[in-house]
Structure 1
Amino acid sequence: MSHPAEEDDPFEDVREETDNPMRRLFAEYGRENSLQFVVGTLASVVARVLDLMPPLVLGVAIDALFNEGANLTFAEAAAQTLPLLTPAMLDGVVPATREGQFYLAIGLIALGFFGGSAFHWTRNWGWNSFAQNIQHDIRVDTYNKMQRLNMDFFADKQTGEMMSVLSNDVNRLERFLNDGMNSFFRLSVMVVAIAVILFTMNWQLALVALVPVPLITFFTWKFIKTIQPKYADVRSSVGQMNSRLENNLGGISVIKTSNTEDFESDRVDDVSMEYFDANWDAIGTRIKFFPGLRVIAGIGFVLTFLVGGLWVLSGPPGPFTGSLELGQFVVFITLTQRFIWPMAQFGQIINMYQRARASSARIFGLMDEPSRIAEDPDADALDVTDGEVVYDDVTFGYDDDETIVEDVNVTVPGGDTLALVGPTGAGKSTVLKLLLRMYDVDEGSITIDGQDLRDVTIPSLRRQVGYVSQDTFMFYGTVADNIAYGTFDADEESVVEAAKAAEAHEFITNLPDGYDTEVGERGVKLSGGQRQRLSIARAILKDPEILILDEATSDVDTETEMLIQRSLDDLTADRTTFSIAHRLSTIKDADQIVVLEGGRIVERGQHDELLAEDGLYAHLWGVQAGEIDELPQEFIERATRRTSRTGAESDD
């Protein structure tokens, strides 16, 4: 039988390879928090022992103080209730008078309640601290791993799925480590201690009380086998639902302008119903399991009450032998209830464990995600002197089936500007992503001042390269925060100067709070052109040795583009610059223009030279000049074929 998780879970492959995720959880994260674990465990033991004191003292008091027919002293009753003690051991401890014994009983009962409360507080502190620390460490480690994965990982995963791992799965682990582990040790101590007491009091009646244990064990094992795949389905469906909600909220303006609210409501209804079905399937199993455990536990309690009651009233029934005092029977019934119900509650802990196991498998599945980029631990920092960039026979494909960039050879002297031109899908953006080492080349090499990018540290490379993308992204915060992002030590004056250089200062000062204006989520309070100018200001403030402009003025009007272009001319004057622009007028003065088609270089030269060749560049220039009627039919047919491509081929 297949499960939705197997078909739709984006982490399924690595999740299945995660061996013993819970053992790995404790091995990697539990050791750092061993103090809290030990405190929680020891406090659980002491707290549960103190919890057992009141019923034991009550039984002794009944036989020694209130049941005259028993003819037992306090010491004798205590030894009979708990044979681990002897009357001789209590000599000098138990008062001689009945009044003194009465107050001793009250004191012991009070000690059980108040002392138990203190150790329960200590137990809760230990387990909560243990769980919270691990939750924090796992969330941070998972995020750190995630943000260092290759870009192709994010192309295959939806944001909601990854948010589900960072939020829901990590929180579910915390609930198990706190509530589940806390309850496990509390109940374990209770069950073991009560079992010892019952057997020392009356081993025959204890066997009656333990009749349900084999049934509870089998029932629990069956539950584990049934519920585990169901919880995997639930975790998968949560990720899918979060992805749909995140996607729709991010595209709310498109939904409104397309009048597709009803369509999207139906899609949300579908994923919500998938989650409902998966969750209800797990709930259905769970709600059958726990009442079944209560029935089994109830059978043990009824049998114990029946046999013990007959024993007190009429002597040992059937094959049973020996005596059973009233106080002992009261203790036995009280402790039997405390013994059987914890046995049933182990099912709740197992239920939490299975949920946590499914979540930990997803977390470690993500953390084990392989990266295509492997940084040499002995790599040196990049040292940029002239800024010369060389592409030497570079070939690259996002997968083994298709090559996106092939045999690219380019040399860009330090301080020069290289423009990349070509139709959509030619591989222009891919060429520049390789320079940023978002991906590693499959063949050939890229060097900066003779240093292979694979031999230098990634942080040092990206510190030296400024990137302005056509897809501008603003972080939630102020205008100043977004300009200074990545250059966090910049002062206010430097931020303003960068904004002026990007032709952004005037519109910023007209905002309600100037540079302190909140831009909203993803910069929603700003126009596309304003966001793009802030992105350029961010790159100017970084003052990199190498600059990449990927459609840097695509979202601005003609006048603003002219102003920004004037600033960019000053910015690029003394640094190596790579520029992609569909508006060829913005790159016609580049030192070198490379024309790509199908991932290969088909033309190179300066603007006038390429126009004279009357090749692809000249035809693209003609399109922008409005000379469509003069274009050759072959160019139009090739353009039709190019625009019909999808997937990775659409990368610029």
Structure 2
Amino acid sequence: MSHGPGPRGPQQKAADFRGTWRRLLGELRPERARIALVIALTTIAVVLTVVAPKILAHAMNILFEGIIGTVLSNAGLPAGLSGDALAQALNVGGMSEYADMVGAYNVVVGQGIDTHALLVVLGQVLAVYLLSALFMWVQGYILAGVVQRTGRRMRAEVEAKLGRVPLSYLDSGSRGDILSRVTNDVDNITQTLQQTLSQALNSIISVVGVLAMMVTISVQLSLVTVAMVPVAVIITVLIARRAQPHFTQQWDATGKVTGVVEEAFTGHETVVLFGSEEEFARLFDEENTRLYEGSYKAQWISGTIQPAMRLVSNLSFVIVAVIGGVRVTSGTMTLGDVQAFIQYTQQFTQPITQLASMANLLQSGAASAERLFGIMDAPEEEQADAPAHLAERVAGRVVFDHVRFSYSPDTELITDLSLTVEPGQTVAIVGPTGAGKTTLVNLLLRFYDPQAGRITLDGVDTRELSRDRLREQIGMVLQDTWLFEGTIRDNIAFGAAGASEEQVLAAARAANVDHIVQALPKGYDTVIDDSGSGVSAGEKQLITIARAFLADRQILVLDEATSSVDTRTELLVQKAMVGLRQGRTSFVIAHRLSTIRDADIILVMEHGDIVEQGGHDELIAARGAYYRLYQSQFSGPAGQDEPAVVADPLLKALGRTERHYS
């Protein structure tokens, strides 16, 4: 659906960070129960981690008490002294500085380190950390499933959405950019959710738990630590605001690069043939440079958050260490409590640093989510409020009643088109490029709806029919063939679910492709890719014609359906199509006028309107627009002799002649 070299997608809107994330988190609603379990497991794991330093403080105090008891014993104090008696003895002995310090401990002179008590405390700490790790492992396992299921749902939603958007939306953008949104952007969203949800939960609960534990140790030191939080928040917000536009540019440029690459490789032969490699290289370099600049600036700017947070954290650490040391010497805090508080300070600033460092992930995810929601919010094809009903198999009477249509308000294409096609008639549509031939078919198929007038099928306005019900009645063979990756058998049976092997073979024979397929090593089990690799352009077109035979629709649309087959094969296909069109209403868009002489009605279109209609002989006799088109195809260049008529048995069987120039 792209137009020319390079993507031309819709312009990127300014990012709505909060609104986008609010909507993205809303995509997690189906996983509420599992998310609640994740929160519970995370809370337990964090509480255990937070309690561990407090338990470890007892180990530090046991070590300190043992060391001080040994030192005082070596200083000559009698063994067994403790408590107030020890403090009095220290004051009398001129060691009052020790008296203040040991008042906060259970020091016994001469008693060394209590190894058993120390091992018990260390065992408790080890058990706490192991349990915390176990709960975090289970939480991570559940969260991975939550995120990946959410990504699967989002991909399914956007794929279903693309099936509901009008053709005009797809025509206005680049296929590569849309593919990038469905693949790259969804992958980036899932990675962002995976990396941020667990970390965010862990960090928030850690901050609350650690703050509570710090307050139980020292309110004064807690206030010093908390005072650093606003500084961290201000730094994070300032940096994040500067990085956000560059993340938007990064993911927009990713889509553009994908679009250029997709177009260059899809049309590789054409690009090489016309020597356009340099043009595509220039386009790629231009968009790749945009991607580099956006990515570089986004990562560099957001990357400064981490060192800035470390600076704040280290500053807080220094202040706590100085104040804590003073309080230990004054006996108002134990060394174990200071050690635990310093550890809590690191645990308090670390989650804040992690939350700040997630800013780049959050912004990148928001940019991708906004691009994905751009598709999700695209206008959909209007559905009939009260869908009308058709017979299981329609008769095929089609009426265009004063239809007016334009792709853009500034340029009118079809101004007043009226046409009645009776059941079983073959209508050929001819005219110069841009005359509106394909537009007429697009209106019939409701890829677009007319701005005025109406189109009816068996007397029912097509706008009162669901698009699926309408299109069930119409078979198509396009000039641009489309095959999917699969066997030739599956490609022929596309659109005819449950078709038997005999029906597939019959359709292939009718389209004159059976002998070609049988000549392949694996026959109908030959696998071709979505570009039809392994078969020629003409063979691809024959496969799509066989697909139309098998679908057996009452209305046929043939858009220059034999343009890629050789003359002799074309004659055989045309002969088969005469049988296919029997009893069916057919619309044939033709550029080679020799293929539509037997049409019941030939419509000549110019500038969106029908300027002539009638049979071949009638229009030739009128010497109007059709006559001029016919002459332009079958008359030689100026000064050349009149073409001679050469008989051909197959042409003769179809009642035609072929002109050759000497």
- Alignment of 1:183 with 2:199, yes or no, is yes
Which amino acid in structure 2 is aligned with residue 20 of structure 1? Answer: G
TM-score normalised by structure 1 residue count = 0.86
Give the aligned partner of residue 25 of structure 1: 24
Q: Please say if 1:499 is aligned against 2:508.
A: yes
Q: Which runs of 5+ in 1 are unaligned?
A: 1-6, 73-97, 316-321, 632-652
Q: Secondary structure at the match of 2:386?
A: coil
Alpha-carbon distance between aligned partners in 2 of 1:630 and 1:550, rounded to the nearest angstrom: 34
1:614 matched to 2:620? The reply is: no
Contact 2:303 2:357 in 1 (8 A): no
**Matched positions, count:** 591
- 2:59 paired residue number: 61
Q: Paired residue for 1:520?
A: 529
Q: Distance in 2 between matches of 1:304 and 1:492?
A: 82
Q: Indicate which of 147, 168, 188 corresponds to 1:152.
A: 168
5+ residue gaps, structure 2: 1-6, 70-81, 84-113, 641-662
Aligned equivalent of 1:374: 382
Q: Distance in 2 between matches of 1:471 and 1:37?
A: 48
Among 36, 54, 60, the residue aligned to 2:34: 36
Deviates more, 1:139-148 or 1:389-398: 139-148
Q: How does 1:69-88 map to 2 (within 5 A)?
A: none
Question: In the alignment, which residue of structure 2 is the partner of 1:450?
Answer: 459
Q: Which moved more, 1:189-198 or 1:615-624?
A: 615-624
**Partner letter of residue 186 of structure 1?**
N
Match in the other structure for 1:640: none
Is 2:270 aligned against 1:254? yes
What corresponds to 1:330 in structure 2? 339
* Residue pair 1:416, 1:576 contacting (<8 A) in 2 also: yes
Q: Which residue of 2 aligns with 1:264?
A: 280
Match among 598, 603, 607 for residue 594 of structure 1: 603
Separation in structure 1 between the aligned mates of residue 354 and residue 122 of structure 2, nearest angstrom: 31
After superposition, the Cα gap between the structure-2 partners of 1:566 and 1:621, relative to the gap in structure 1 and judged at 3 Å, is: same
Distance in 2, Cα, partners of 1:186 & 1:55: 17
- For 1:12, the aligned partner's letter is Q
Find the aligned partners of 1:31 and 1:626 in 2 and give their Cα distance.
69
- Corresponding residue for residue 87 of structure 1: none
Give 1:24's aligned amino acid.
Answer: R
Give the fraction of aligned pairs with identical amino acids, expressed as a percent: 33
Q: Which moved more, 1:542-551 or 1:258-267?
A: 258-267
* RMSD between superposed Cα atoms in Å: 2.3
Matched residue type, 1:242:
T
Equivalence for 1:91? none
Q: Does the CA contact (< 8 Å) of 1:211 and 1:300 recur in 2? A: no
Deviation string 1:487-516 (CA, Å, 9 cap, x unpaired) is 232222221111111111111111232111
Q: Distance in 1 between matches of 2:390 and 2:538?
A: 33
Counterpart pick for 1:405 among 387, 404, 414: 414
Q: 1:579 matched to which residue of 2?
A: 588
Q: Offset at 1:99?
A: 7.5
- Does the C-alpha gap of structure 1 residues 478 and 551 become closer, same or farther in structure 2, counting only changes over 3 Å? same
Counterpart for residue 625 of structure 1: 634
1:208 maps to 2:220: no
- Asked if the contact 2:17/2:366 (under 8 Å) is kept, the reply is no
TM-aligned CA deviation for residue 284 of structure 1: 2.3
Is 2:360 aligned against 1:351? Answer: yes
* 2:558 aligned with 1:542: no
Residue 556 of structure 1 deviates from its aligned partner by 0.9
1:630 Cα deviation from its structure 2 partner: 10
* Structure 1 counterpart of 2:332, one-letter code: S
Q: Deviation digits for residues 107-157 of structure 1, max 9, x if unmatched?
A: 422331221122112211232122112111111111211232111212211
Deviation larger for 258-267 or 98-107: 98-107
Matched residue, 1:197: 213
Q: Is the 8 Å Cα contact of residues 382 and 457 (structure 1) preserved in structure 2?
A: no
SS in 2 for 1:20: helix
Contact 2:41 2:136 in 1 (8 A): yes
- Structure 1 contact 18–365 (Cα < 8 Å) conserved: no
Q: Which residue of 1 aligns with 2:97?
A: none
- Distance apart, 1:624 and its partner CA: 2.1
Residue 655 (structure 2) aligns with: none
- Give runs of aligned pairs for residues 530-569 of structure 1, distance below 5 A: 530-569=539-578
| Structure 2 residue 478 is matched with structure 1 residue 480 | no
Deviation of the 1:453 alpha carbon? 0.5
Q: Provide the rounded CA distance (Å) in 2 between the counterparts of 1:377 and 1:489.
A: 32
Instruction: Judge conservation of contact 1:210–1:300 (CA < 8 Å) in 2.
Output: no
Change (3 A) 1:8 1:590: closer
2:260/2:280 contact within 8 Å kept: no
Residues 17 and 120 (structure 1 numbering): CA distance in 2 closer, same or farther, change over 3 Å? closer
- How far off is 1:303 after superposition? 1.5
- The answer for the alignment partner of 1:237 in structure 2 is 253
Q: Which amino acid aligns with 1:487?
A: A
Q: Deviations over 1:238-277 (max 9, x none)?
A: 1111111111111111232234434433332222111111
Residue 93 of structure 1: aligned partner: none
Separation in 2 of the partners of 1:175 and 1:332? 35
Distance 1:517 1:160 in 2: 28
1:51 to 36, 49, 52: 49
- Name the structure 2 match of 1:173: 189
Q: Per-residue displacement from partner, 1:61-100 (whole Å, max 9, x unpaired)?
A: 332576245979xxxxxxxxxxxxxxxxxxxxxxxxx787
Q: Quick one: distance in 1 between partners of 2:496 and 2:121?
A: 71
Residue 129, structure 1, aligned to residue 127, structure 2: no
Alpha-carbon contact 2:426-2:600 (below 8 Å) kept: yes
Q: Distance in 2 between matches of 1:385 and 1:475?
A: 29
Q: Does 1:464 align with 2:473?
A: yes
Supply the distance in 2 between the matched residues of 1:574 and 1:146 (Cα, whole angstroms): 35
Q: Distance in 2 between matches of 1:216 and 1:561?
A: 75
Tell me which structure has the larger Cα radius of gyration.
Answer: 2
Q: In 2, Cα distance between the equivalents of 1:16 and 1:310?
A: 50
For the 8 Å contact 2:399–2:420, the answer to whether it is kept is: yes
Partner AA of 1:552 in structure 2: A
1:8-33 superposed Cα distances (whole Å, 9 cap, x missing partner): 862535x7689812212223x22111
Three-state SS of the structure 2 residue aligned to 1:171 is helix
**Matched residue, 1:112:** 128
**SS of the residue aligned with 1:593?**
strand
User: CA offset at residue 432 of structure 1?
Assistant: 0.8
Residue identity opposite 2:535 in structure 1: L
| Structure-2 residue corresponding to 1:642 | none
Give, in whole Å, the separation in 2 of the partners of 1:350 and 1:572: 63
- Between stretches 609-618 and 200-209, larger displacement belongs to 200-209
Query: Under a length normalisation based on structure 2, what TM-score does the superposition of the two structures give?
Result: 0.85
Q: Provide the C-alpha distance between the structure 2 equivalents of 1:193 and 1:42, rounded to a whole number of angstroms.
A: 14
* 1:583-637 Cα deviation digits (max 9, x unpaired): 1111111111111111111111111111110111112122222255599xxxxxx
* Superposed structure 1 runs of 4+ greater than 4 Å apart: 15-19, 68-72, 98-104, 627-631
Find the counterpart in structure 2 of residue 441 from structure 1.
450
